[in-house]
Structure 1
């Protein structure tokens, strides 16, 4: 059963890896980055080593207590007529009660299972972190592209303004306004470049490689027309909750072990006594061999009763912790679903507003043919258009980031 549970957990990781990429046909770069992060992450390697250590403890507990050897030699021989003992040798092996070693193995294995779930949780967290940082890089790059297009458009308007100034249809102030706006957009773009490098460093560190390695992101992400179905019932099988189940099982195994350790320990051995030759010994065998049997009984077993009480309280604590964490995950899931819907609705509204702004801009440019143009209005419309485009990018990023959160919680 334990091996089956571990296989299910491993399969869940593979499914989660694939589901992170279902939203975009251009996600090969993100998939590659996540695979590299999973392979190189020191945190994953740390948890993996802890799991191996916990698993190795099975061999540690699968052993008997130390075998006792005793040797006694007569140092001073008294003058007696009876036969004297020269030395004696004994060996004794204590044996735990039936099933105790198996109970120890089951307890250690259950602890290892709980440790393995930590690996799954760490992998999920890492995948979500890489995805979120990747989408931040996408948004940054998309904003830079938008700013570049607006600067180029303002240069075109500047040319129109210079022409209008020459023929007396515009003032030099309009030209200066356009130039100031270009400088502001260039400054914003420079700031975005610096932010991109900082976020890129963050992603490279998640991949455990040099911070200067260049990362490429997709040129565009498509906003789906409708939301994907969210299987909220899968939340009950989340690894963060499964870990509490494994901890609960480990306490159960601890109590079974505690009950076994309350039973007596049996010792078997043999003692050999070598004697000197003596006329008093008429038998052909002067030496003696004596089988031995000992029993260790925990008469004062207060500590075992206390351990049982502690295990009972631990199980209650784990149950309440699991319920608390389930409530928190349900809250996070509801928030992510709500914010993803809000991002898609915002994107739809921004498309309409952007179309209106572009129509207004086209009308202003049309008026240039009639000999009148208000470059202040052009700047206002262009600033409004830029605002809508930036919000559009943020809406797309928010949709994918919240989808990452939903996948982390439900897949």
Structure 2
């Protein structure tokens, strides 16, 4: 291997290693993206944190609902021991534990569990709402950035037009000279012919040649003066027209500069709102793509409706609420049965000196007495009313579930219709932008060649800017509608783990 090939091989190896290192560093450094900001919002948003803590609080109620009632302990002492058969009673200790009917605690735990799941679905709904807000705010920023970029490009085009107008403004001096020269040349021929004819006529008629020469000279002088005057008029008109074009373009530039400042102010305000969703400082920098792209939506109608019915948190919340009412109804039914109390009583007995009450060896022996109590739920109207209440709430929940499902379906079809209209609008503004851009390029060429005036150029330029701004706004609306449909399907809750 010669030295040149060796150098080439070493250089190639160095470039490969450098490229690999750069890619590795780029992969290690996370880039600000929409997915990154959504994760930050889910982790930091105070509303999501509040609802998640509420869910955790509801989970703690499960153990509370399944717990037994606290046992009752009662202590009694006589200030003066009471004589009884077998001794003197000093006092007694009673311990009692009430036990609900079989299955009551299980029903209570089920109710509390469904209530906790209902709160979890509400937490998911809050998370979906926050994710939608992040999407919407992101697309608003993208729209404004795209409009700002379009405004800057149009300002650049106007500045180029201003340069062309300035060149045209400085050109009339030479064009006026050429025009004057051409206009001076054109009357010369008929003047010469007229002079020649007069001369010939004078010779044939025998007139004075000096008179004819003077007449021809005065005629030529007059024609030259008229030609000079016409050239000066042409120069003045071209100069005035060129200067007015420059001023009109500068007026348009001032207007676009005002639009740029307004867009920059809007972007600053929207970034503050975006940072608020992420629970960050208002002045935190946000990396937003300047080019807004339309999001693809390829899910079929049947799949969307199935996902709404299966995953929507609002439906899940109502479903869990209905199951909680059902469990409560079962618990109320079991609560209408007797409760059983098991206990023990320990009587402290001292020795007595009365031989009539001593009872021999039983004198002074403590006594233990098991106890059983039973509640008597004889007021049935109260318990029956509680059970009927639970059933009515359960049925109400079923009707609310169906109504909410119908509302969500109607909302989806409304979003779908708006999505189709927005798609047509994007296509329309895309075609109009393309035609306006082509027309603008052609009319600028005509303006340079003098075949068109500045009014047409500015009109087309305004149309081009208007179509570009409306297209960016339509794409932002389309993407927001897609995010709204994804919220109905709870895409964010199932794709983002908390």
Sort the TM-score into its range (normalised by shorter chain): 0.7 to 0.9
1:279 aligned to 336, 355, 360, which one? 355
Report the equivalent of 1:264. 338
Offset at residue 221 of structure 1 (A): 3.4
Offset at residue 251 of structure 1 (A): 0.3
Report the equivalent of 1:317. 396
TM-score, length-normalised on structure 2?
Answer: 0.73
TM-score, length-normalised on structure 1?
Answer: 0.88
Report the equivalent of 1:389. 468
Report the equivalent of 2:67. 63
Report the equivalent of 1:197. 268
- What is the correspondence of 1:6-405 to structure 2 with a 5 Å cutoff? 29-76=33-80, 83-166=87-170, 167=172, 168=238, 170-223=241-294, 228-230=299-301, 231-233=303-305, 234-237=307-310, 238-273=312-347, 274-277=349-352, 278-280=354-356, 281-286=358-363, 287=365, 288-405=367-484
Report the equivalent of 1:19. none
Question: Residues 364 and 270 of structure 1: is their aligned pair in 2 closer, same or farther, counting only changes over 3 Å?
Answer: closer
**Structure 2: 5+ residue runs without aligned partners?**
1-30, 173-237, 492-498
Q: Distance between the aligned counterparts of 1:151 and 1:135, measured in 2?
A: 24
Highest Rg: 1 or 2?
2
Contact 1:107-1:253 within 8 A present in 2 as well: yes
Q: Distance between the aligned counterparts of 2:395 and 2:82, measured in 1?
A: 67
Offset at residue 224 of structure 1 (A): 6.5
Report the equivalent of 1:16. none
Offset at residue 205 of structure 1 (A): 0.6
Q: Distance between the aligned counterparts of 1:361 and 1:375, measured in 2?
A: 11
Bigger shift: 209-218 or 168-177? 168-177
Q: Deviations over 1:59-95 (max 9, x none)?
A: 2233222222222222245799995322222222211
Q: Distance between the aligned counterparts of 2:459 and 2:265, measured in 1?
A: 27
Contact 1:99-1:260 within 8 A present in 2 as well: yes
Offset at residue 102 of structure 1 (A): 1.6
Offset at residue 275 of structure 1 (A): 4.0
Q: Distance between the aligned counterparts of 1:370 and 1:91, measured in 2?
A: 110
Q: Distance between the aligned counterparts of 2:283 and 2:339, measured in 1?
A: 63
**Structure 1: 5+ residue runs without aligned partners?**
1-26
Question: Residues 291 and 363 of structure 1: is their aligned pair in 2 closer, same or farther, counting only changes over 3 Å?
Answer: closer
The structure richer in helix per residue is 2
Question: Residues 339 and 28 of structure 1: is their aligned pair in 2 closer, same or farther, counting only changes over 3 Å?
Answer: farther
Bigger shift: 278-287 or 156-165? 278-287
Bigger shift: 86-95 or 180-189? 86-95
